[in-house]
Amino acid sequence: MGGHHHAHGDDHDHGLVGGWETWLQSGQLRGVLVGLVVAALAALAGLAMLWPDGSGSVAATEAAEEIGLATERIKATVVSSENAACSYSTPERPQECRLLSLDILEGPDAGSVVALPEINLDIERGIPELSPGETVILGFARPTNTYFYDDVDRTTPLVLLTVIFVVIVIGFGRLRGLLALIAMTTTVAVLVGFVAPSVLDGNDPVLVALVAATVIAFVSLFLTHGFTPTTAVALAGTLSALALTFVLSWVFYDMARFSGFASDDSLVLSVLAQDIRISSLLLGGAVIGALGALDDVTVTQVSTVAELRRSNPAMSAAELITSGIRVGRDHIAATVNTLLLAYAGASMPILLLFSAFDQSMATVSSTEVVAVEIVRTLCGSIGLIAAVPITTALAAAVVAPAEVATEPHSHAAHEPHATEPTEPATKPKETPTWNDFSPKDFTD
């Protein structure tokens, strides 16, 4: 009984037979580990070579200050807010302005009350209704020593939502949820502390994105799901599908001849940091964006194959692949649509503008700002679809030898007088066809 208990491992290994010691007997797993070690070493080398020294960030900040884009942001409390006719309003052309008086909370003028220049509501349509006691963010132009309205202070709702999110994640996921939060924090640290300053230093955005995506994949998967053989297989599938997504994006971004200057943000960035290749920045963003959904798909596929193997140890590798892909097909169908909706939701203002201009679908699709999202969605979706068979095949190849190695005796050996036929175990395995991967009945 002791050997049987050990064979099933713990829950963290998804019920697979044995742990690292048993799994390492599989040549397939050793091959996967060698590939992961090479990828890890390459990522570490990339971090060392591309690590920012901060000079690019300093230069960009100085450039922003020179052209008046960089301003100090200071918190202030609304003392009074009144709408009245603008000082330059005329009976023929009436105009309404907002008069704000605020108590400065930070900076050299902290504690003093200042009146802002009147705000024309016909021009500044984005300014909300403000009530006394509400906290806002002011901009301070040091050359002219003047304050101006910048934005509302969203600290309270953001902190509240973050606390609710953390409580729900930890309450539901317990230790696994806590580890997921740490992994998410690490991802943010990599993006803010490495990707942004490294690109500003003039490094190739594509190389920076590839290194960052690899580091994020290693940290997030192993930290969240544990340092187990199943996680290693999922990571191998993730990196393989990510490589395919990168190659596809590289080819079609080049064929589509994206300039990268379709957005105002890119135009401003090109002024602040002239060494940045904006078109490469688009490609780098596509690589990092594809990673988010890939790890979800690959972990699910490995867990599916593992559970299938545990439920029926007699399943061959071909049967594992067939059943695993059948499950993955439903997952992919939902995920691809999710990607489309995510990109479409982010582009709603642009879509409305084109609709207002009464442009045809072909014309709208060909514009760079829309075409970028189309190529990003399709390349990312192809990578997601490829992740299913890649990861399923890796998992089936690794699982099957380990299972066989830990079962030296078959059930027939233990039951020599059994009279029941062993048709499932002796039935010849047919080569699966594409139709085998689809559900037999949608009502099942």
pLDDT of residue 43: 94
Tell me, yes or no, whether 268 and 391 share the same domain. yes
Three-state secondary structure call for residue 81: strand
Tell me, yes or no, whether 31 and 135 share the same domain. no
Total count of domains within the chain: 2
Nearest to residue 332, comparing CAs of 375, 300, 362?
Answer: 300
Tell me, yes or no, whether 177 and 136 share the same domain. no
Q: What is the pLDDT of residues 299-318, one digit of tens each?
A: 888 888 888 888 888 888 88
- Give the contacts of 258 (CB within 8 A, at least 6 positions apart): 279, 282, 368, 371, 372, 375
The structure tokens listed for 291 are 């990673």
Tell me, yes or no, whether 147 and 171 share the same domain. no
3-state helix, strand, coil in the chain (%, to 5): 65, 10, 25
pLDDT of residue 438: 41
**157 assigned to some structural domain:** no
- Phi and psi dihedrals of 156, rounded to 5? -60, -50
**390 assigned to some structural domain:** yes
Helices (DSSP H) in 191-277: which residue ranges? Answer: 196-200, 205-225, 229-256, 264-272
Is 373 within 8 Å of 252 (Cβ atoms)? no
Distance of alpha carbon 153 from the chain centroid: 27
Q: What is the pLDDT of residues 67-83, one digit of tens each?
A: 666 678 889 999 998 88
Is 337 within 8 Å of 423 (Cβ atoms)? no
Question: What average pLDDT does the chain have?
Answer: 78
Tell me, yes or no, whether 128 and 206 share the same domain. no
Is 150 within 8 Å of 116 (Cβ atoms)? no
Q: What is the pLDDT of residues 340-381, one digit of tens each?
A: 676 666 666 666 766 666 666 677 777 777 788 788 888 888
Tell me, yes or no, whether 40 and 78 share the same domain. no
**65 assigned to some structural domain:** no
Tell me, yes or no, whether 144 and 177 share the same domain. no
**141 assigned to some structural domain:** yes
User: Long-range pairs for 223-228 at CB < 8 Å and ≥24 separation?
Assistant: 223/179, 223/182, 223/183, 223/186, 224/176, 224/179, 224/180, 224/183, 225/176, 225/299, 226/12, 228/12, 228/13, 228/14, 228/19, 228/20
Angle between helices 264-272 and 55-66 (to 10 degrees): 110
pLDDT of residue 443: 37
- On the question of pLDDT at 84 being above 80, the answer is yes
- Give the contacts of 171 (CB within 8 A, at least 6 positions apart): 177
Which residue range(s) make up the domain with 139? 70-152
Q: Strands, DSSP E only, in 116-173?
A: 119-120, 135-141, 146-152
**444 assigned to some structural domain:** no
Is 100 within 8 Å of 119 (Cβ atoms)? yes
Tell me, yes or no, whether 293 and 234 share the same domain. yes
**251 assigned to some structural domain:** yes
Burial of 70: CB neighbours in 10 Å, binned 0-12, 13-18, 19+? middle
CA distance linking residue 432 with residue 438, whole number of Å: 11
Residue type present at position 48: A
For the domain that residue 139 is a member of, what is the CATH number?
2.40.50
Tell me, yes or no, whether 110 and 43 share the same domain. no
pLDDT of residue 357: 65
Burial of 408: CB neighbours in 10 Å, binned 0-12, 13-18, 19+? exposed
**106 assigned to some structural domain:** yes
Question: Would you state the torsion angle of the CA atoms of residues 28, 32, 33, 35, taken in this order, to the nearest 10 degrees?
Answer: 140
Helix (H) / strand (E) containing 82: strand 72-85
Instruction: State the chain's maximal CA–CA distance in angstroms.
Output: 107
Tell me, yes or no, whether 21 and 114 share the same domain. no
**pTM of this structure:** 0.73
Question: Would you state the torsion angle of the CA atoms of residues 260, 261, 265, 270, taken in this order, to the nearest 10 degrees?
Answer: 90
Q: What is the pLDDT of residues 116-145, one digit of tens each?
A: 888 888 888 778 888 898 999 998 877 777
Q: What is the pLDDT of residues 214-244, one digit of tens each?
A: 999 999 899 888 888 888 889 999 999 999 9
Given 152, 181, 200, the domain boundary residue is: 152
Tell me, yes or no, whether 136 and 228 share the same domain. no
Given 152, 183, 208, the domain boundary residue is: 152
Q: What is the pLDDT of residues 370-395, one digit of tens each?
A: 788 788 888 888 888 888 889 888 88
Given 87, 118, 152, the domain boundary residue is: 152
Tell me, yes or no, whether 398 and 347 share the same domain. yes
**27 assigned to some structural domain:** yes
Is 112 within 8 Å of 102 (Cβ atoms)? no
Residue with tokens 């009502």: 443
